[in-house]
Structure 1
Amino acid sequence: MQLQRLLQFFGWPITAGVIIALLALLLFPQLRQTKTSDVQMLQNHLPYGVVSYADAVNRAAPAVVNIYTEKRVIERYRNLSNNPFFRHLYNNSNTPQQERMQKTLGSGVIVDSSGLILTNNHVINGADRIAVLLYDGRVTAAELVGMDSDNDLAVLKIELDNISPITLGDSDKVRVGDVVLAIGNPFGVGQSVSQGIVSATGRWNVGISEEAYRENFIQTDAAINPGNSGGALVDAYGNLIGINTAVLDEYNTSSGISFAVPAKIAMESLRQIAQHGRVIRGWLGIEGGTHPRTKGIVISGIYPNGPAHIAGVRPNDILTHINDEEIEDARQCMELVNKLVPKSKVKMNLIRNGESIELEAIAGERSNTQTKT
């Protein structure tokens, strides 16, 4: 009897506990998984081994080429040229001369199935012969199509079948912190890959262009060395986002601060070079700086007989709009002017002595020979 009473006393609590536990398992199925199943599920969702960018490299590498150039250089014998007494002798045109071939190396990127290659202007500038080594081992001569010295770009053309153009990415969507890969031919050792992140975008005042505000680079910490110039900067999926151009280092070796021309800018230069043989940029003949208190630029220089001068623009005018597009700063204004079609009408909104005025100019074509007043 005592045992029966004891069972009756504990029976209901035990039964209630079992029912509650069953309900909990039904309502919360994750409680039924063990630590072992958690590990197995995590492994099923992770790639095998460590994270790799091999797929990105496999996509991009066949489009990256090695570029070798030769330039004929004439030199005078200068055994005693450092001696002030003999120096005048070596300024004479009759001084014995020697000829040698100066060799350079760099990289390039096939961007079109017709054989168009993007590289840096400084890689091929002045070259008498240009040779291209493809990823599959083929070697061929390359023809210079044109150059864009402002962005240190050049376009080459090769005549080969079965080439692999790179896939283009959207350089406008590149963000600081994105993983990037630099593919090129450092020190001539052969195609190599380095990895880093995007350190900054829209970087300017680097010293590559004569006019700093025209610069617009992607900054990375991927290792870039001599020979990498003109090679590909790709994203983690192997899409081209830039053309590697320069490093910030006085010894010309990788310092963790590297610069690439955004792919969008490079491809626009290529399009114009392929179509016109040169890059055509609009020109108004003005210079100015960002206004400290309002949007727009303060006109500080006007080129004589340039489009703005003829239209009536004056120093200290504040240019606020070009063709109804609001001007944010000097760099954005330069981009708007570059896009102007030469000989097209340009509406300019300005503020002069506190009053708004509107002028019309005829866009010119920018060259590197204009001088301002």
Structure 2
Amino acid sequence: MKQLFALVFAGIVGGLITLGGYSLLAPQPTLPVTQDNTYAQAVRNVNVSPAMANAPFDFKEAAAKSMPAVVHISSKIAQPTSNRQDPFRFFFGDSYGGGQPQGGTGSGVFYSSDGYIVTNNHVVANADEVEVTLYDNRTYTAKVIGTEEKSDLAVIKIEGNDFPTLDFSNSDEAEIGEWVLAVGNPFDLTSTVTAGIVSAKGRSINLLGGGKAIESFIQTDAAVNPGNSGGALVDAEGRLLGINTAIATRTGVFSGYSFAIPVNLVRRIADDIIEYGSFQRAYLGVEISELDGDYARELGLPITQGVVIEKLVEGGSAKMSGLLPKDVIVGVNGREIKSVPELQEIIGQAKAGDIMDVAVNRNGEELSLPVRLKPE
């Protein structure tokens, strides 16, 4: 009897051991999974497109906006003058011949939908005939409304309405390194778009002869060649940022440096030409030079950037407002001034009668003076 009980007990124990082993080795039933919302959100973010940077992935939209607003300009002069000293001749596609009608080609940008077009003065200067060809190949005869030689700008007009225009950017806020497009007609290749970045601002290249010239170019490395002159420099959103004007080159073709007139200055001059036929310029009434390290040491100043007033014009705005020779202009209306081109640009954008808050360093101390600008 005892032997039978022992056998039964051993069987029970063995069965329990077998059952336990099976439980450990058998597949576990699938249980409901509770999703962690925080984790799920993080996973979804992996496949979300990143926020758009300042530069788009490509420039298709900007190009599509800008090309219809840029025109081809052909000008003819019946009796050409000597062009031996003409710094702009590399922008014209046709050769100059003595005694023959002088021809040139360039670009322009619609300034308003009723046919006003802004371009460079050197594209249409002294022209007897100006012909404009639109993006869709329509051709018009244009009238020169007015020119401003000291900034190399001109406004021409064709008859009609509903012409395509561009929104305006704010060239004061343009930043070095941002993407830009140059749109124009290089070598008579119509509607050509090239890309680059803003390489520098407030650049003077002594192109317009100094003196009363306004040179504060936006420098870019977008390819600009003969025929681009007067065309559009646009930002990555397709807004007008400047008017392409010149290239620095030893060969006559693009070598990596091109220059555009900032659109804020373009608008100021173009508006006057359209309203009055000429630029109604305001003047500070000073002769100036640029401060550098050597000049700063000579003047005993703790700064090395700014614009030194060398001479005051009798009866001019600066003298009447209390500015003095050897004052160093370091700001205007809250904008920092480091160079002569920057000062020329901001004064060029102002109107006669405007009151400018001029910050100067006088003998090492900074003070601010209100200056009411007078016309020339």
Which TM-score applies when normalising by structure 2? 0.72
Paired positions, count: 330
Residue of structure 2 equivalent to 1:117: 117
Cα RMSD for the two superposed structures: 4.1
Residue of structure 1 equivalent to 2:325: 315
CA contact (8 A) 2:110 2:117 kept: yes
Residue of structure 2 equivalent to 1:128: 128
Pair 1:98–1:259, CA change in 2 (3 A): closer
Residue of structure 2 equivalent to 1:189: 189
Cα separation, 2, equivalents of 1:347 and 1:189: 46
CA contact (8 A) 1:111 1:118 kept: yes
Cα separation, 1, equivalents of 2:283 and 2:209: 16
Residue of structure 1 equivalent to 2:20: 5
Cα separation, 2, equivalents of 1:261 and 1:346: 22
Residue 300 in structure 1 maps to residue 310 in structure 2: yes
Cα separation, 2, equivalents of 1:245 and 1:23: 66
Q: 44, 61, 72: which one pairs with 1:66? A: 72
* Bigger mean CA deviation after superposition, 115-124 or 212-221: 212-221
Q: 49, 57, 65: which one pairs with 2:63? A: 57
Cα separation, 2, equivalents of 1:51 and 1:347: 41
In the TM superposition, 1:76-225 aligns within 5 A as: 99-200=99-200, 202-211=201-210, 214-225=214-225
Cα separation, 1, equivalents of 2:286 and 2:148: 21
Displacement of 1:205: 2.4
Pair 1:111–1:362, CA change in 2 (3 A): closer
Deviations 1:14-53 (A, max 9, x none): 759x76x9457787448999xxxx8xx679x99xxx9543
Residue of structure 2 equivalent to 1:364: 374
Q: Which runs of 5+ in 1 are unaligned?
A: 77-96, 367-373
* Bigger mean CA deviation after superposition, 167-176 or 286-295: 286-295
CA contact (8 A) 2:115 2:157 kept: yes
Displacement of 1:138: 1.1
Q: Secondary structure in 1 aligned to 2:19? A: helix
Q: Which runs of 5+ in 2 are unaligned?
A: 1-14, 83-96
Pair 1:55–1:127, CA change in 2 (3 A): same
Q: Secondary structure in 1 aligned to 2:99? A: strand
Residue of structure 1 equivalent to 2:260: 260
Which TM-score applies when normalising by structure 1? 0.72
Deviations 1:323-342 (A, max 9, x none): x8687445454455445544
Cα separation, 1, equivalents of 2:102 and 2:70: 23
Query: Percent of pairs identical after alignment?
Result: 32
Displacement of 1:181: 1.9
Displacement of 1:112: 0.3
Displacement of 1:355: 8.9
Rg comparison, structure with higher value = 2
